[in-house]
A and B are shown apart, each in its own frame.
Chain A
Amino acid sequence: MATLMALVDAQIKNTATDQNRIYENIVGKAIDENQTPDEIAAAYQKYHQQINHFDVNAFHKTLSVMQHDVKQNDPERYATFVANFKSIPDYITERNNFNDKRKELLNGNGSNSDKQAIFDALDRRRTRAHNGVIGLFNQMNELAKEHNLPEPYPNDGEPYNKNDPKDREKVAGILEKHEPLLDTVNNFVLSARISAGFADPTDNLKKMNLIELYHYAKNYAEKHKTKDRNAQPAPKAQIKPTVKNDSQDFEL
């Protein structure tokens, strides 16, 4: 029986083979044909669209950094990463059967206001899980930037904005396309955390009373405000070429 690590490696290898082929066909071809820097940048943009904003090679490198550097040097941050990976199966659970639940509720008994309340609750749960995934993707990108690696979830150098419907859609699309890999990685990092004996950071939160939670939240906000002030600003994307879509009229 394959170990989780072997399964992750195999899935990454399969995805990397496809990605490298796309890179050769688009960016490699542009470089070989001695195109202008703007055309090469446009080809790179097209490559990112073709790989649906998920760079599996960068993801592999970032995951290695997380599993080695972060785990050794900052166990609390590592445990937080692992806890955030849990948002992947949570989102998958909320998303699957969502449409069937909706139809069932719509056809069921109850007033419109009752149905609306249940719809809102379903939407809130899914939104919370979706926000968790967006947060995880941004954290992975941040970790990659700190170690001078390419971003695993490139978004023109900007973090994904949970208030932007198009960014939310991009994140949902990435997760849908790479669900098996990301779900396996979640199981892998969870088992690695348990083997290393690190506690789930949310376990302590569940035991705290209101005042302790308030002080924890205050200290957490202060710690991250200081960290942000000390952080180097991310380099802005220099070139933003436009890429003409084939079906521009009905582009999504």
Chain B
Amino acid sequence: MQASLLEKAVTQDTNGTLHQVVSAAYDLKAKSSVELTKIAIDTNKALGFDLFDDLYYPRLVLDFSRVARAVAINALHSN
């Protein structure tokens, strides 16, 4: 995941596009690789660029947690 694309996605998302990603990151029940892959592909499509450029399951888990952290930091800074 590129840092510039992460920043772009987090700061420019006003439609709740990243909501599914954040929910999956905080879900107590771990999502399967099929579910995470589907969320990643749908999010890429909605954003218009490949935020998740690697669909390998361990990488998706790491990237989803990064997105959730970035969304939280952005929310703090924008208040």
User: Which A residues have a C-beta under 8 Å from some C-beta of B?
Assistant: 95, 98-99, 102-103, 106, 112, 115-116, 119-120, 123, 126-127, 165-166, 168-169, 172, 247, 249-252
Contact = CB atoms under 8 A, between A and B. Distances in A.
B19 interface: no
Given A103-B41, A123-B33, A250-B70, 13 more contacts: A98-B54, A106-B34, A112-B34, A119-B32, A119-B57, A123-B56, A123-B57, A127-B58, A166-B62, A168-B58, A249-B73, A250-B3, A252-B66
Given A250-B3, A250-B10, A116 B58 contact: no
Contacts of A112: 34
Given A169-B62, A247-B7, A98 B56 contact: yes
Contacts, number: 58
A102 to B, nearest CB: 5
Q: Which 10 A-B pairs have the closest CB atoms?
A: A119-B33, A102-B55, A165-B62, A99-B55, A123-B57, A250-B7, A116-B34, A115-B34, A249-B73, A252-B3
7 contacts: A103-B41, A106-B34, A116-B32, A119-B37, A126-B56, A165-B59, A250-B10
Interface of B: 1, 3, 6-7, 10, 32-34, 37-38, 41, 53-59, 61-62, 66, 70, 73-74, 77
Contact of A169 (B55, B57, B59, B77): B59
Nearest to B7: A250
Contacts of A165: 58-59, 61-62
Contacts of B1: 252
